[in-house]
Amino acid sequence: MSFRFSATVQSRGFEVSLALGPAETVAVLGANGAGKSTLLAVIAGLLRPDSGQADVDGKVLFDLGEAAAGGIWTAPHRRGTALLAQEPLLFPHLSALDNVAFGPRSAGLSRPASREAARHWLREVDAESLASRRPARLSGGQAQRIAIARSLAANPEILLLDEPMAALDVHAAPLLRRLLKRVLAGRRAIIVTHDVLDALMLADRIIVLDNGGIAEEGPTKEVLRKPRSPFAARLAGLNLLTGTLSGDGITSGDGLHLAGHLEDGGQAGDDGIAVFPPSAVSVFPTAAHGSPRNTLPVTITDLEPHGDQVRVRAGGLSADITPAASADLGLAPGMTVYFVIKATAVSIYPA
């Protein structure tokens, strides 16, 4: 009893295979254009891949060979893959209740029975009082709640969520996230998101897409604690440096050496990854200070506010310092400074 999927879409350089357990929620993360939306569109049957297979609980969604010949292609409405997009896309001519009743009605239920089912799902999302409203008279958060009820009412085998919180304001998003956490429990779902909080709260597992392929996957906490891809590291708010393991640390491709403590017993000469938080990085105008072993000369690319700190971005790494320190040093993009990193804060593990 599971969902298995693999597909290639050559025109978008997309090649992904994944599997989901019966009650598993997976968060799909990645930069824009990494293939997240393509993944959902192929699963939902809105985009036909060049080749691949997918089945859910023994039902074949598609089975397309390498050759152009026929194959199996199940139409979107027979797949049981309800899609919830960024915008709620409630049918504007139907009341909230009839929007939610749309799935049950399409499944062949009578009008009263489908409305009864719709009421149940509106209660589930705490929106029963909105039943008679037209979508034009709902706020963004309310509309997205109705849209969630509508997706659930269709009783999907896989719920596909495409950045469901992205279009909401900061007040509506937390409420909806809690709601999703409640209704996704015990369901199979794939949630595409930009937000690490969504992944932490809603997903059992993370898949990081990059350039149309899977760059990294694993249990959410594991990936965020020990990211192996630059994207996941940025997501977790960590600096990441890849290179070759040596006796006391790691040496990157462009010759930078970083000392730290090796985890999981990697061998010298193996490929490795070093991870450290921006708060463990100090910024100095000259190389003379701090531990001589972990001093990296870098050129500042950006300064940006980060909480009550200033985040200094340079050479793909970040340092968090106080605004006062930034002003004292007179930091500006283009300046060459030295990032000094405490060796004890650097975790190094094999790639």
Provide the binding-site residues for another protein, judged by CB under 8 A: 44-46, 75-83, 85, 87-89, 91-93, 102-103, 106-107, 134-136, 138-140, 143, 150-151, 154, 156, 160
Residue 67 vs 75, nearer CB to another protein: 75
User: For another protein, which is the closer residue by CB, 154 or 203?
Assistant: 154
Q: Between 102 and 339, whose beta carbon lies closer to another protein?
A: 102
- Residues contacting residue 182 through CB under 8 Å, at least 6 positions apart: none
**Number of other CB atoms surrounding residue 88 within 10 Å:** 22
- Report the C-alpha gap between 112 and 310 in whole angstroms: 58
Q: How far is the CB of 159 from another protein (least distance, A)?
A: 10
Least distance to another protein from the beta carbon of 81, Å? 6
Q: Residue 89 is which amino acid?
A: L
If the CB atoms of residues 101 and 317 are measured against another protein, the closer one turns out to be 101
Which residue type is seen at 149?
A
Whichever of 91 and 351 has its CB closer to another protein, that residue is: 91
Q: Which is nearer to another protein, 167 or 329 (CB)?
A: 167
Query: What is the helix, strand, coil percentage profile of the chain, to 5?
Result: 30, 35, 35
∠ at Cα 324 (320, 327), nearest 5°? 95
Q: How far is CA 318 from CA 17, 303, 312, 336, in A?
A: 33, 10, 5, 14
Minimum distance between the CB of residue 106 and another protein, rounded to whole angstroms?
4
Pairing of strands 189-192, 213-219: unpaired
Task: Give the Cα separation of 85 and 185 in Å (integer).
Answer: 20
266: buried, middle or exposed (CB in 10 Å: 19+, 13-18, 0-12)? middle
Q: Which is nearer to another protein, 121 or 338 (CB)?
A: 121
Is the alpha carbon torsion for 290, 230, 278, 267 positive or negative? negative
Shortest gap between Cβ of 331 and another protein (angstroms)? 43
Strands (E), 169-294: 189-192, 205-210, 213-219, 239-245, 249-252, 257-259, 261-262, 271-276, 281-284
Min dist CB 258 to another protein, Å, is 48
Strand 295-306's sheet: what is its strand order? 281-284, 336-341, 295-306, 309-314, 317-321
Closer to another protein at the Cβ: 132 or 299?
132
Residues 6+ apart with CB under 8 A from 30: 36, 208, 209, 210, 215, 231
Q: How far is the CB of 151 from another protein (least distance, A)?
A: 7
Q: Residue 218 Cβ, how far from another protein at the closest point, in Å?
A: 28
Q: Which is nearer to another protein, 49 or 88 (CB)?
A: 88
Backbone angles phi, psi at 85, to 5 degrees: -95, 180
Shortest Cβ 146–another protein spacing (Å): 11
Question: Minimum distance between the CB of residue 2 and another protein, rounded to whole angstroms?
Answer: 20
